[in-house]
Structure 1
Amino acid sequence: MSKGGFTGKGVFGTLSYLVVVYEDGKEKQCNFKHEEDVDRFVAYIEEKYPDIPVHSLEAERKLAEKEK
């Protein structure tokens, strides 16, 4: 966390979100209350719609490197 990020006057938290990229290149950020919901949604898409990519090209490259 950057210097000064916590003031002691509140709660610091994260926001789980999923970015959907449409065929025309437009993007939509979808917010979720719980990170597990994002994981379940992505798993559902992978199972029901295997032709829809669930990672960016950069993420796919990094995953492939990690497997090696």
Structure 2
Amino acid sequence: MGSTFNSLVGLIILALDIWAILNVIKSASEVGIKVLWILLIALLPVVGLVIWAIAGPRGNVRF
């Protein structure tokens, strides 16, 4: 059961990283900033995701 749980957590982190990267791509930031955020999220999946959630650029949000 341990490996199943670890696989599930890994898939959830992967899905959240992909979602964060797509939000960075949709944001209005400059290309260089986008590249840095994508590299941070891709190279440090958990830490990068947390840092992005706190301080990262957001996609185009319409209210």
Q: Quickly name the TM-score band, shorter chain normalised.
A: 0.3 to 0.5
The answer to which structure has the higher helix fraction is: 2
Greater strand content: 1
Instruction: Give the TM-score, by structure 1 length.
Output: 0.31
TM-score, structure 2 normalization: 0.33
Larger Rg over CA atoms: 1
